[in-house]
Amino acid sequence: MGSAAATPPPGGKPTQDELKRAAAHRAVELVEPGMTLGLGTGSTAAHALDRLGDLLRAGALPGVAGVPTSLKTEAHAARVGIPLLSLGGGPDMKIHLSIDGADEVDPDLNLVKGRGGSLLREKMIEGAGDRFVVIVDESKLVPRLGCTGAIPVEVVPFGARHTLGLIREVFDGLPGFHARLREGSEDAPFVTDNGNYIVEMFFEDGIRGDLRDISDRLLRITGVVEHGMFLRMATTVIVANKDGTVAVIN
Ligand code: 5RP
């Protein structure tokens, strides 16, 4: 069974992957027997899957099952022996706790998620649960959303370039704003698990406007399915710091 690398190895700083693992292992300590979990996607969430698999195999978490937020997570969870359920899979189904990484976390615990392309299923599952625990290394903490990269927006493939044009019209004039269709392999658009495309929106030095207003304007565009700003959804953020400490922010 692996152990959390919350402290730097002797003589060295923890790597980013060790920090991700430390945050993930801390989150898994919150899991109790019988819980149904939202299972996140990405390299940080992958550490939580591995840890859960270890504990399940050791018999330490009887009755725990998970709802995967992507096809990749579904395959990983199956491989490590986490029993899987589907969202809405039964009349009494309840997600007690979701554990997932994030691309950015702002001081109000708003998030950017979905640079890995799984934002729609993540938002559906993490929004449906009682508690949403976000696991990050300290590099993900930002003063404003959009500081370190794109805000992903999932759009239907039909008329995707038209929808891109509508998004450009709505946000034209905001400092440094530009948007593009995310590319996949061989010059084709990137395709999500839901068969949709991703528009990437960039803002110079992050979004300085009202996030809720930007969210509403995006969701009013026909052709937009969902976006990667997770506003006021995280109930806990676990941050692994380079100095070896792990902070739990509620
Ligand atoms: C995937 C996500 C991931 O949680 C996010 O991209 C962070 O990934 P990582 O843990 O690999 O840094 O939102 O859609």
When pLDDT is averaged across residues 137-157 and rounded to a whole number, the result is: 98
When pLDDT is averaged across residues 108-133 and rounded to a whole number, the result is: 97
What is the C-alpha separation between 122 and 62, in angstroms, rounded?
25
When pLDDT is averaged across residues 120-135 and rounded to a whole number, the result is: 98
Tell which one of 41, 70, 71 to mutate to probe ligand 1, the residue whose CB is within 8 A of the most ligand atoms: 41
**Residue 96 pLDDT > 70:** yes
Q: What is the value of ipTM here, to two decimals?
A: 0.98
Whole-number pLDDT of residue 1: 36
Whole-number pLDDT of residue 88: 93
Single out the catalytic residue among 122, 126, 154, 226: 122
Whole-number pLDDT of residue 199: 98
Atom of ligand 1 nearest to the CA of 114: 14
**Residue 6 pLDDT > 80:** no
Whole-number pLDDT of residue 12: 77
b (16+ CB within 10 A) / e for 202-215: ebeebbeeebeebb
Look over the chain and give the mean of its residue pLDDT values, rounded to a whole number.
94
pLDDT in tens, 223-232: 999 999 999 9
With cut-offs at 50, 70 and 90, classify the pLDDT of residue 187: confident
Residue 122 among the catalytic residues: yes
Neighbouring C-beta atoms of residue 185, cutoff 10 Å: 7
- DSSP E strand boundaries for 22-159: 36-39, 65-68, 97-100, 104-105, 111-112, 131-137, 151-155
Whole-number pLDDT of residue 13: 87
pLDDT in tens, 48-77: 999 999 999 999 999 999 999 999 999 999
Atom of ligand 1 nearest to the CA of 136: 10
With cut-offs at 50, 70 and 90, classify the pLDDT of residue 186: confident
Write down the pTM of the prediction. 0.94
Asked whether the CA dihedral 223, 111, 73, 131 is positive or negative, the reply is negative
Whole-number pLDDT of residue 9: 57
With cut-offs at 50, 70 and 90, classify the pLDDT of residue 4: very low
pLDDT in tens, 32-50: 999 999 999 999 999 999 9
What is the distance in A from the centroid of ligand 1 to the CA of 91? Answer: 30
Whole-number pLDDT of residue 175: 86
Whole-number pLDDT of residue 5: 47
Q: Is 94 exposed, middle or buried (0-12, 13-18, 19+ CB in 10 A)?
A: exposed
Q: Token pair 């309840």 is at which residue?
A: 94
